[in-house]
Structure 1
Amino acid sequence: MTLASKTRRVLLAAVSASTLFAFHVQAQDSFGRLPPDAVLVTPQGEILDYVPESGEVQTMRDRNGRTVLVDNWGNVVATVMRNGRSGNAVNRRQANVDVYSNQGFDNEAYDSDRGYGFSEPGDVTGSIPDFREVTPQGVERGELPNTLSAPADENDMAALPAEDETNPQRQSTLPRAMAVTKKSSAEITALQVFLDREGFSPGVIDGKMGSNVTKAIEAWQQAKGETLDPNNTDDILERLRLNGGLPITSYTITAADAAGPYVASIPEDYAHKAVLPHLSFTSTTEMLGEKFHMDEAYLRELNPGVDFTVPGSTIKVINPGETKKGKVARIVADKARKQVLAYDDAGSLIAAYPATIGSSDTPSPSGTVQVDRIAFDPGYTYNPKINFKQGENDKVLTLQPGPNGPVGTMWIALSKPTYGIHGTPEPSKIGKTQSHGCVRLTNWDANELGKMVSVGTVVEFLD
């Protein structure tokens, strides 16, 4: 049996569907009889376990045409969803899942007026929200088509830094990765998932070879003291088997997933952003992409013809494994590599993340600073006199928290005022574009790093 056929057999393993949990509501009220398979989902993504009494709410339609229950003050109490499978048993503990909790978001932040930003030291209204690790919903194994192509981005690969023997700071260049021969998208996906599980992030998982994958391989080799052959798919699959299983699993879209809350779109202008109550995801696919560390287009490619807004739909997603854990004592932000390297107190490299670090107009700091504070799901304070100039905005603006906020779902403030390590609303651009002087990671990488650092952690900027 050839390597290709063996790989295909492994990656095309059949899977069973996950179970959709729903709460059935049947009641007569002033707002009418609800469908027998209705699910009432709150704006925070929880399943409502009671029916509002007569006079408490009225029915309205939101901009997506869904029925919503609104109280006498104009607040949305719940969205009426259909579970698509009447007759399923109830398990409220499992049904009452906050779709944001797996992303590291704090429910209280939804209607908070915190405005946690980074305009200047102490310019904070409110406190850092409490954070607790949440066990993600179980997912079952899924199949991965082996027919997708996996072209490398030549321009992206050219962005890798060249070795510089004359620069003392560059003499510790990480061990070079092997060149990758022509591989299918399925094989590249397996490689990306392996690196992601190990804590050496390839950025968004998209089934394509690029500089972020190469940098992750090199960091892994430096940390493990061995060479990884990215062309040996059998070896990669065996490593995956020992650490979480196959790279693709099945996942059943829940009522909470479909309900959101979502916003129709995120405006570019910060003044328009500032009027939004929360900088939420704009779609189910965007949310699922971040939840499973995937490129949104790749999620759609793996699930052709699927309506992601329908609860009960079973889809194929990446199985990223457990979050990396450990204590980071020192961070190196390598500007040339566009990568953040995290070391423990013994000096061992334990994690690495592709990063967007500064720009020619707003360069990142040089030298050594420290972590000053850490905020999960932060708001953002825009001050044109201190920060960069955005559009025509010349006034201080407070933007609410959310994954589509300017700093995403994580803000690691540095001791140099206005600078920090943070998330992003555009994960696919990490390592390939410029930032406004800060260090930008994907939201999931920033959240992972944020849980491993503490106030006082050293951050070195390598030019």
Structure 2
Amino acid sequence: MRMRVATLTASALVLLTSSVMPASAQIRADVVIGQNGERIFLDPRTGEVLTVQPPSEVRRLPPEPQFEPFQREEDIRDIIRAERQAERQRQQELRAAMQRERERTAERLREQRAALPEQVPVIPDPQMGTTLPDAVASTDDANTATGAVQSPGSISEPALQAPKSTKPSLAPGKMTVAKAQILLDRVGASPGVIDGVKGQNVLYAMDSWRRLTGELVDFTDESAIEKALQARGGDAFVDYTITSEDVSGPYVAAIPSDYGEKAAMPAMRYTSAREAIAERFHMDEDFLESLNPDADFGRQGEVIRVASTGTPKSGKVTRIVADKSREQVVAYDSSGRLVASYPSTIGSADTPSPSGTVKVERIAINPNYTYNPEKNFKQGDNDEILTIPPGPNGPVGTVWIALSKPSYGIHGTPEPSKIGKTSSHGCVRLTNWDAKELAKMVSPGTTVEFKE
């Protein structure tokens, strides 16, 4: 028998136990390995073969795992491709849902108009783009930068009041959408302004609703919406009595578009009680007026209907995702749980927003705005640095959340009805109330990821 002798050291000597020989006959033995892997135990004094252990009884270690880095990279690529495909599918489904809703709305309008008597003129639905008539013109002094304060004593006597408005009441479908918007707002799935229009902002907010609550609600069924509202705070609309503070402001006659003229004003205040009340209750101005067609918003004691949006969200946000394709800002806590979502305007083709990940550096409430044409954009003929005073109608609204990339931030807006519908100068724009809510939940160091 051909054998190779194992190198014998003190550690190579084994003590045969009862598994090989009886305990009473324990001796020391040399070990050699046969050509087939068997272990042969020899008497070290005589060279006599004591026993042979077959190869099958020899414990063998499992082979070392063979890592395949290229295969793992390919797996990661597959995961990324699958995620992108899922996102494309979701976008397609949302676009299809929006198209179906537009078609249903158009069909309802055709049915409503067909049911009207021929002698009654058809009034265009504001939802289809018709602008409602403006309110009675302001009596503010146009030559005064801050405008004249309308005090309770300046209210006209009843005999001098303007005739009652003949504006159309809201269509039933628009009220259903408005109730859905209020329900979404209450749970932190902000739809932006409450205006009764079911557009992209509302559809994305509905998606956030499912992620926040885990519930499915038919947002086309008013009874289902009413049931969900009662479970989360009660009726969608409540009565509100206009106060002396609402009437007195102070307000300004108008906000100029030119930045040089803005910088000369003492503050970027609201222009009317109607604008201030609409923003306080997260409502579009025209929608507020349509809901209260005969109301005098400059009269102390006037009772109007407003949206009941509930209390602002609270918690600690540690991560923000600014999704450029959805025009939505999504906030998460440290466990990765969705806290809130907001419709947004994120950059433009001319002034794109940042890419990658940045951090929150500081938070300012009711900030000034510094216009620097060399660092940012050029507005009109203004080629010098200007400081525009604070206020809700300033370029950045009432909140500035500065980011670690210079000159960029998350901020409010003087035009809440345009969120998600127009471009910005590279920053992330929210409604003033959404920006204020988010500002209270973030802190310096919170990450902000820009997602294409």
- Decide: shared fold, TM above 0.5: yes
**Structure 1 residue 321: deviation in Å?**
0.9
1:400-454 C-alpha deviation (Å, 9 max, x unpaired): 0000000000000000000000000000000011000000000000000011111
* 1:434 aligned onto 2:423: yes
Consecutive unaligned residues in structure 1, runs of 5 or more? 1-61, 69-74, 85-144, 150-182
Amino acid across the alignment from 2:275:
E
Q: State the identity %.
A: 56
Larger radius of gyration: 2
* Residue matched to 2:280: 291
Alpha-carbon distance between aligned partners in 1 of 2:217 and 2:288, rounded to the nearest angstrom = 27
Structure 1 CA distance, aligned partners of 2:215 and 2:294? 42
Residue 82 of structure 1, aligned match among 148, 153, 165: 153
RMSD: 2.6
- Mapped partners of 1:349, 1:435: distance in 2: 26
Q: Contact between 1:83 and 1:311, CA under 8 Å: does it hold in 2?
A: no
User: Paired residue for 1:148?
Assistant: 170
Q: Count matched residues.
A: 304
Q: Which amino acid aligns with 2:322?
A: A
Counterpart in the other structure of 2:251 = 262
Query: How far apart, CA to CA, are the structure 1 residues paired with 2:327 and 2:254?
Result: 29
Q: Contact 2:392–2:432 (CA<8 Å) still a contact in 1?
A: yes
What is the CA–CA distance in structure 1 between the aligned matches of 2:179 and 2:187, rounded to whole Å? Answer: 12
1:211 alignment counterpart: 200
Q: CA deviation at 1:186?
A: 1.6
For the pair 1:371 / 2:442, whether they are aligned, the reply is: no
Distance, in Å, in 1 between the alignment partners of 2:254 and 2:331 is 35
1:348 paired residue among 337, 341, 347: 337
Higher helix share: 2
Matched, 1:198 2:274: no
Distance in structure 1 (CA, Å) of the matches to 2:196 and 2:377: 35
Q: Which secondary structure state, in structure 2, belongs to the residue aligned with residue 368 of structure 1?
A: strand
Q: Distance in 2 between matches of 1:304 and 1:225?
A: 38
Residues 181-214 of structure 1 show CA distances to partners (whole Å, capped at 9, x for unaligned) of: xx71121111000000111100100112111100
Q: Distance in 1 between matches of 2:205 and 2:279?
A: 19
Equivalent residue runs for 1:123-162 within 5 Å: 148-149=170-171
Shift of 1:243: 1.7
Q: TM-score, normalised by structure 1?
A: 0.62
Tell me the equivalent position of 2:410: 421
Whether the aligned pair in 1 keeps the contact of 2:151 and 2:247 (CA below 8 Å) is no
Q: 1:307-338 CA distances to partner (integer Å, 9 max, x unpaired)?
A: 21111111111111111111111000000000
Give, in whole Å, the separation in 1 of the partners of 2:197 and 2:151: 39
Distance (Å, rounded) in 2 between the aligned partners of 1:401 and 1:146: 36
Contact 2:331/2:339, CA 8 A, preserved across alignment: yes
CA distance in 1, matches of 2:372, 2:292: 42
Unaligned runs of 5+ in 2: 1-137, 156-166
For normalisation by structure 2, the TM-score amounts to 0.64
Q: Which residue is 1:102 aligned to?
A: none
Call closer, same or farther: CA 1:394–1:186 in 2, change over 3 Å. same
Deviates more, 1:183-192 or 1:287-296: 183-192
Q: Which has the higher contact order (CA 8 A, sep 6+)?
A: 1
Letter in 2 for 1:393: N
Partner of 1:105: none
CA deviations on 1:56-98 (whole Å, 9 max, x unpaired) are xxxxxx97279x9xxxxxx9998752398xxxxxxxxxxxxxx
Partner of 2:349: 360
| Equivalent residues of 2:149, 2:250 under 8 A apart | no
In the TM superposition, residue 234 of structure 1 has moved relative to its aligned partner by 2.2
Tell whether the 8 Å contact from 1:334 to 1:340 is kept in structure 2 after alignment: yes
Q: Which residue of 2 aligns with 1:451?
A: 440
Partner of 1:406: 395
CA distance in 2, matches of 1:323, 1:283: 24
**Which residue pairs with 1:318 in the alignment?**
307
